[in-house]
Amino acid sequence: MTSPTAEDYRWFEADFARLAEGYCVTLVHGIAPAEVLRVLRAEVRGHCTGAGTLDDHAYEAALVHQGSHGYIGVAALDGWSVMLEPNGYIGTLGGALTPLSVGRTVVSHFRNVNAVDHFNWFENGQSRLHFEPLFAHHRDGSDPDSLVTAMREVGFTTEEDGVDDLDVVTAAAFALAERVTGVRLTPEFLETARFVEGLAPIPGG
């Protein structure tokens, strides 16, 4: 399999337009979906098939809980748990990423309707890399430059005077997450995945 680039994830904007406006994807290695929910102190709300159904349920939950909780779905894939949050952001918070990453690797990427975006790579409770995809020249974490070559290859602009396109960097975030984890997300996975659903308190909220 060739190394992924943004071109390999252009389907996300085209096939999941509503989700692409606001989402968070978190990949957690070596842990079952139910354990992800336990670590996040989430109340299990059942199961659903496909990101579209999860999106509907998340919208309904947001009307009730008004920001105090986040609605998440977690599905297993190739030894990882894929946590999907339609219009959510728990996977961007240190209060979630730190405990989830103890003894393992966690990678997340996020975008909201206002074009705020984040990419996180945590290892064993610590941030190795964090940056905003639209401003990939500014990075922090314990190893902020370790992925610079890969970032350029997948489609990010890492020079300070560079200009990025939101759709490109969203696809590039998926590609960079795959380079770190080896997990390739596909339209078929998002359409058919069996998600365990949970209502989780916002860490620090």
User: pLDDT tens, 88-127?
Assistant: 999 999 999 999 999 999 999 999 999 999 999 999 999 9
78: left (phi > 0), else alpha (psi -120 to 50), else beta? Answer: left
Structure confidence at residue 72 (pLDDT): 98
Within 10 A of 116 (CB to CB), how many other CB atoms are there? Answer: 13
Are 133 and 169 a contacting pair, CB within 8 Å?
A: yes
Rounded to an integer, what distance in angstroms lies between the CA atom of residue 88 and that of residue 79?
A: 24
Structure confidence at residue 205 (pLDDT): 64
Q: Residue with structure tokens 């989430």? A: 42
Q: pLDDT by residue (tens digit) across 150-166?
A: 999 999 998 876 556 88
Rounded to an integer, what distance in angstroms lies between the CA atom of residue 129 and that of residue 121?
A: 5
The pLDDT of residue 70 is above 90: yes
Q: Higher pLDDT residue, 162 or 35?
A: 35
For residue 48, the SS3 value is strand
How would you list the strands of the sheet with 117-123, edge to edge?
43-49, 194-201, 69-77, 80-86, 23-29, 105-111, 117-123, 126-132, 135-140
The whole-chain average pLDDT of the chain stands at 95
9-13, 20-24, 99-103, 164-168: which range is least confident on average?
Answer: 164-168
* In the chain, where the domains are located: 6-182+191-198
Structure confidence at residue 195 (pLDDT): 98
Structure confidence at residue 159 (pLDDT): 83
Structure confidence at residue 69 (pLDDT): 94
Range 5-30 average pLDDT? 97
Q: pLDDT by residue (tens digit) across 128-141?
A: 999 999 999 999 99
The pLDDT of residue 1 is above 60: no
Structure confidence at residue 61 (pLDDT): 92
Which token pair is 112?
């909201």
Nearest to 154 by CA among 128, 136, 127: 136
The whole-model pTM stands at 0.96
